[in-house]
Amino acid sequence: MQLTDTTTIPPQVMTRTVGNEMVILDLASGTYFGLDPVGARIWALMGEGRTLAEICDQMLEEYEVTREALEADALRLAGELEAQGLIRVRSDS
């Protein structure tokens, strides 16, 4: 996975906010995943069809974090979500 990749959310994947967390549920498989507020923001930006690099650019404007830490976290989260079938990754490179 690369920062130039974009993600899509399959139609059978639903989200709900519970307290200050977001719960993602794949209705087809029953897989669910919880996100804290920062993860939920990354998820929302993924839903806009942005590349992971564009997501990191936006997040840097909103949070005090280093680019390196943010990129590592975004790539890790995207990898976990893809492994669970909760997003699809399209490589443009």
* Residue 2, C-beta contacts closer than 8 angstroms, at least 6 positions apart: 52, 91, 93
All domains of the chain, ordered by start, with CATH?
6-85 (3.90.930)
Whether the per-residue pLDDT at 9 is higher than 80: the answer is: yes
User: Using one digit for the tens of pLDDT, what is the confidence trace for 52-93?
Assistant: 999 999 999 999 999 999 999 999 999 999 998 899 988 865
pTM: predicted TM-score of the whole model, two decimal places: 0.86
Strand partners for 48: none
Q: How many whole angstroms separate alpha carbon 45 and alpha carbon 48? A: 5
Tell me the β-bridge partners of 22: 17, 35
What pLDDT does residue 93 have? 55
% the chain with pLDDT above 70: 98
